[in-house]
Structure 1
Amino acid sequence: MHKKETNLSHSKLANNMMNYINKNIDTDINIDAIAVEYGLSKFHFHRIFKEQIGKNIYETIKSIRLQKASNLLITNKYSTITEIASMCGYSSQTSFIRAFKNRFEQTPTLWRNGGYKEYSNNILHNSISSDVSHTSFSHLEAKIIKTKRKKLYYIRHQGYNKELSKVWQKMMAWVYTNNIENYEQIAIYHDNPIITLQEDCHYIACVKVDDKTKLTNTNLPYFEIEEHLCAAFEVEGIYGDILKFIQWVYHYWLPSSGFETTTFPSFSVFEKNHFLNDDGIFKVIYYVPVRYV
């Protein structure tokens, strides 16, 4: 197999595994069984994943579990700590508390009772892009809708930074190569950048094309997201505002909304993409998954 084909194969495997982890974070993920399904040895499977993602699989799963749990503890006031631990794949509350304390240096109870505020403020203090934003979002109102299933071609990027302009340029090169006229630009935020350092955040730049579109170049990986109940917000601003907006949604709007969120990530559908426009202004509809309680 040629080097390019090998790299594409390895990239597809690692991306499929990341999608699987995020989709099944509430379960006991059996890595050995998955490696067998791919026809690979455990060693080879782990090596490919780390080579492509930059972390080993177990570290990745643990990080995703705790990041999602840290959000749910803030937003889901009707759920017990045991229920949140279960939603994030922990079989016991004891193991969850121990892992959470090692990661955030405080117990889930202290975090839920306001400890997250100081932690979040420290993240913001060290974030240049967030620090320049002084926009207020308290005037925004949500519309509760049910989104449709979407098939998305994507490029995964670690870090919320100006490098995303290059990622979106590459995505658009793929769009132009395939002569796609009707499409949507979508950003998926797997991490809350107010809790996770921006350089560690996983961002996915996606394009949704019409199912009838014939593609001449299909090197990009794809996945499908199912329909979800979401709160939708129409938002516009400049670089850095989106991070402050996400903080407002998770730290202020959700806890008082009467809804709870899920482990599914939030996402934005662009009307205007600030990573592709010289004026740096974005206009999006932001969707945060919610559930009725």
Structure 2
Amino acid sequence: MPPHYQERMQRVLDHIDRNPDADLSLDRLSDVAAFSKYHFHRQFSAIFGLSVHRYVQLVRMRRASYQLAFRDADGVTDIALDAGYEASDAFARAFRQNFGQSPSEFRTAPDWRSWLAALGPLTFARSKHLTNYSLQDVTITDFPATPVALMKHHGDPERIYATIQRFIGWRRATGLGKDITATFNIFHSDPRTTPPEAFRMDLCAASKGPVAPNDAGVEEGLIPAGPCAVLRVVGNSENLEAAALFLYREWLPQSGEEPRDFPLFCQRVRFYPDVPEPDSVTDLFLPIDQGARAVGGPGRIAT
């Protein structure tokens, strides 16, 4: 895709993500892209592999599914209105057509595998946006020792959303919601090279006290203190692969640093759907050897 086309199409995708309940007609979006209506529609379909109308529908359905699964306080009628449907029965039909479950069935027991498959075209379209990181985007920070309440996910990464749903439920019940304590993920496995059954990832909430015995499987953990290379990722909060590869393949060899004996981890700073996807913020941490750089050396910032 020529750079000027990529910039204009990315402007359209960001506009849709930031305004999912606004007028997203072909006329309006072609204005955002600064293309003629007919040229825009052809180009969008050729570049992203689906029509503008289908892309908008999937963006709205994705947000609705997050609200159903992770926002218990949001009623189905309100979610339907947010998705652009004036009647909840029309929304229910469209939701079932997309995901194979009614909204109430999805809220109670989501079929995450079918959900991921249905959103595949949206994921593919968004993968067309390439973020170019530079060495200057990486800083080094002294990360403080952080006790966490930890829920382990072990198994198929496609099931991670079920683990997230259980962890959110536990956090709410114990008063450790994301608005109260920081949220971290620890990545023990690379999904590109790890068999699904061996994949491991920890969901964590910062904790200031002991974790009480519970049936959810949450236990005490610790993210240890030490220097870390930090790369801030804006948008694409669910796909950190490009950022992780940049840290390992490009930044690390050129930095003169050595990795420390702790996995890559991240802090979720701003969440989708609390903020639009382009405005989500994730800090990705690569632990590095404590003796590799003198304290206060170039690029170091204090936390």
After TM superposition, give the deviation of residue 90 of structure 1 in Å: 2.7
Give 2:25's aligned residue: 30
* Alignment deviations for residues 49-68 of structure 1 (CA, whole Å, 9 cap, x no partner): 12222221111111111122
Q: Which of 183, 192, 196 lines up with 1:233 in the alignment?
A: 183
Alignment of 1:1-293 (within 5 A): 7-36=2-31, 38-114=33-109, 116=110, 119-120=111-112, 158=124, 171-172=132-133, 175=134, 180=136, 232-237=182-187, 238-240=189-191, 266=237, 273=244, 276-277=247-248, 281-287=263-269, 288=271
SS in 2 for 1:277: helix
Whole-angstrom CA distance in 1 between matches of 2:108 and 2:245: 36
Q: Does the Cα contact within 8 Å between 2:186 and 2:203 map onto a contact in 1? A: no
Q: Check conservation: 1:273, 1:283, Cα contact below 8 A.
A: no
Please tell me the residue identity of whatever aligns with 1:47: R
In structure 2, the gaps of 5 or more residues are 141-156, 162-177, 206-215, 218-234, 250-258, 275-303
Quick one: which amino acid aligns to residue 54 of structure 1?
G
Give percent identity, aligned residues only.
Answer: 19
> Which amino acid counterpart does residue 190 of structure 2 have in structure 1?
Y
Shift of 1:235: 2.8
How far, CA to CA, are the matches of 1:30 and 1:70 in structure 2? 22
Aligned 8 A contact 1:231 1:289 in 2: no
Alignment-mate amino acid for residue 103 of structure 1: N
> 1:23, 1:77 → 2: CA distance?
22
C-alpha spacing 1:236/1:159, structure 2 compared with 1 (3 Å) = farther
Q: Could you say if the C-alpha distance between residues 289 and 49 of structure 1 is closer, same or farther in structure 2, counting changes exceeding 3 Å?
A: closer
Letter in 1 for 2:6: S
SS of 1:235's partner is strand
Residues 59-100 of structure 1: CA deviation (Å, up to 9, x unaligned): 111111112211211111111101112223333323211110
Hey, what's the Cα distance between the residues in 2 that align with 1:269 and 1:8? 23
Alignment gaps of 5+ in structure 1: 127-155, 185-191, 197-227, 254-263
Q: Which has the higher contact order (CA 8 A, sep 6+)?
A: 1
Q: Distance in 1 between matches of 2:63 and 2:93?
A: 16
Structure-1 residue corresponding to 2:143: none
Question: Residues 108 and 122 from structure 1, CA distance in 2 versus in 1: closer, same or farther, beyond 3 angstroms?
Answer: closer
Compute the displacement of 1:105 (Å): 1.4
Q: TM-score, normalization: structure 1?
A: 0.50
Counterpart Cα distance in 2 of 1:8 and 1:229 = 38
Counterpart-to-counterpart distance in 1, 2:263 and 2:125:
20
Contact 1:14 1:49 in 2 (8 A): yes
Aligned partners of 1:10 and 1:52 also within 8 Å? no
Distance 2:12 2:53 in 1: 12
Counterpart residue type for residue 268 of structure 2? Y
